[in-house]
Structure 1
Amino acid sequence: MKLINFSEVLVMGAGPAALCIVAELVEQGLNVTALASHTPDKPWPNTYGIWAEEVESLGLESLLGHRWSNTVSYFGDGIGRQGKNPTIHNFDYGLFDQNSLQQSLLKRCRNLSWNLETAEEIRVLGTETEVLCKSGKKYKARLVIDASGHRSRFIRRPDHGPVAEQAAYGVVGRFSSPPVSKDQFVLMDFRPNHLTEKEKCEPPSFLYAMDFGDDIFFAEETSLACSPPLSWNILRERLQRRLSSRGIEIKEILHEEHCLFPMNLPLPDRNQPLLAFGGAASMVHPASGYMVGALLRRAPALGAELALAMSVKPSLDSSALAKKGWEVLWSPELVNRHRLYQFGLRRLMSFKEDELRDFFATFFRLPRKDWSRFLANTLPLPKLILVMLKLFWIASWRVRRGMVFGIPSSSS
């Protein structure tokens, strides 16, 4: 194999995670090589939502393509006035303009060229790591970071059984009548009046929808997390039936969105000599499914730590550098918070449709500063525990039982 180059850090991937960490490493003055199967300017297929307060704290609100102040959810049964009343969040929500976010990160990468390669083997050789590619080319670096996504085969992690995945099917388009009110964002619409009694016992899903203006709307049917995940065909059919029950037809599809990602992927082995970032590092929030905010918040500390370690101790080998990175990326505080979120997700996965509606209606009765920071994963561990206890205290007995023991299936 032909050796192409030797760098301080080699990053694999070209999505949001890879661009975030490459941008930080380049700004730290490190010599970076990037490998991916496609160019980093390939358009991202999915939308990325974030609460406006979170993006404002990062100083990136200018990258939002849309922003809504009228933000609501529906947790009633859809029957009667009380069942149709929304939960009003009074909290701005936004969608990134994918192209603006992507170009902003690429600009920070300072025209770094991505090598279009497929890695076949990675060998740790002590002071350096070698990446052997399908093309026959070989790359070496002091440290390799896998930011290629949760499906990476190079990152070791324990096997804790089946992984729960969030699935969604959505449509950006024009409808016979608006699926949401003008200038409105609907975070979760769990109203089940389009489902049969049998379907209400199946894994639940909800509508995530918003008004883009100019008679264009986004409507997406989402399942929170289940194993195996709900198929896109099932979600497409549920979305169509949900809309039909309200007398709404899809008149024109401008974009279809298909999402599928793990919610409770086990944390990687933090003793391995490869470092990961993004989905490969299990950075998806187990409670909300969000990750972009975490990428933007956590990349600077990781980049700074790696730059410091490489400059202060140039003799550190690949394993030692990876260990430094893992310690920053998954500190004991973050590990314990992640475990709490995963515990909660396991309990929620046992909830049926009506129990899930009860849970979320209770969750959004918490003070806004509590539920918003819970969903952003910015609560310190003691505060996170306190918020979870507060939620338990105000919940119904049925939800309390489910939070502690899970809710038994009807067949048990």
Structure 2
Amino acid sequence: MRKDIILKAENISKQYRLGQVGTGTLSHDINRWWHKIRGKENPYLKIGEINDRSTKGNSDYVWALQDINFEVERGEVLGIIGKNGAGKSTLLKILSKVTAPTTGSIKSRGRIASLLEVGTGFNGEMTGRENIFLNGAILGMTKKEISSKLDEIIEFSGCERYIDTPVKRYSSGMTVRLAFAVAAFLEPEILVIDEVLAVGDAEFQKKAIGKMQDISKGEGRTVLFVSHNMAAVKSLCTRGIVLEHGEVKFIGGIDESIRKYLTDRNENKNINLIDRKDRIGTGNAKITGVRIHNVEKLMTGSIFKVEILYDAKNKEIIINEFGLSIWDLKENKIISLSSEFKNQLVNISNSGTIICEIPNLPLVKGSYILNCFVSSIFGLEDYVENILEFEVEENDIFGTGKTINPNWGMIVVDHNWFKE
């Protein structure tokens, strides 16, 4: 059966020059022009490095994207996933024609509506109602077509009371609600959505995902979706692209794409913590080691004890907080713990070992990931993700002969039932 291709990316690459607006100086632009009129290749395409933020580069040029090729069929929901800096937002901006590729081309059939950043395409001085008509006109719709959808857009956005108020008075959540409603209801053939839905509350995110499912399955329109929420990606998308350092690492079914992304992310487990480059913070104090006690048999309800080794290069620094978080393999945060929550560890030395203990681990059977951070009075000093992965086994914690599996949720809490 012949494929109905609605969007095609061919050899898309995007180069930036660090520290510059655009890709270089006037002399570089003249040099490019001189090569072009002589029928020669752009000389600056031969230089530049991949976009790896964890390493120090030797070139002023960096490739945010390099040789991206893929096709999207009509009615498909394509998930674009990858770590921060992988090139996801740059790719969406090129697909939306917000910015032009350095090389390659985009071929599309139909109107593209983009939701890339909160308030993109909105005029802050105009009211919500006026912005609906403005965005519809940009999409090539007539006033009559926009008017026929106006009531649905306003109702879905939940901004009816403020629809005649200038958008500059809106909160970020209200703005993204209205922007999504405009993009979804004005019937573009291709809807491009970046991480902006994370701004909305849980109720709106659920509505938005339901609407995107209706758009693709019921109306046969195409959605390109970027998110770090793997649960949302899995429930919505039919196929995925995994980006890493601006290159396509994998294209395939959404389950395989998520598995590939999570597997690659877990490669850091085999690197000595001291040598990890993908950390955030000033680095004046660093986490040098993390170990879970009794990890060979960790069970629901057992003692969970984490040992954190740390060291401060700057001995004048005042460390005032340690923290850790536990995530599942779909990147859902399950538990956050901080010494500040308990007003503990307020006077400590600048190197040593810290213990964090949960007396009764409330996690059900499954695989989990540990992230850690250390802060001083000056701010975040060191934050390292995916330090280690651990398994939790099921356990009869209530002594009734019954265990609780993940189908009941992620957390187990003690509880009692009684009749008054």
Shorter-chain TM band = under 0.3
Judging by fraction of residues, say which structure has more helix.
Answer: 1
**Which is higher, the Rg of structure 1 or of structure 2?**
2
**TM-score for the superposition, normalised by structure 1:** 0.24
TM-score (norm 2): 0.24
Bigger relative contact order (CA 8 A; separation at least 6): 1
Structure with greater proportional strand content: 2
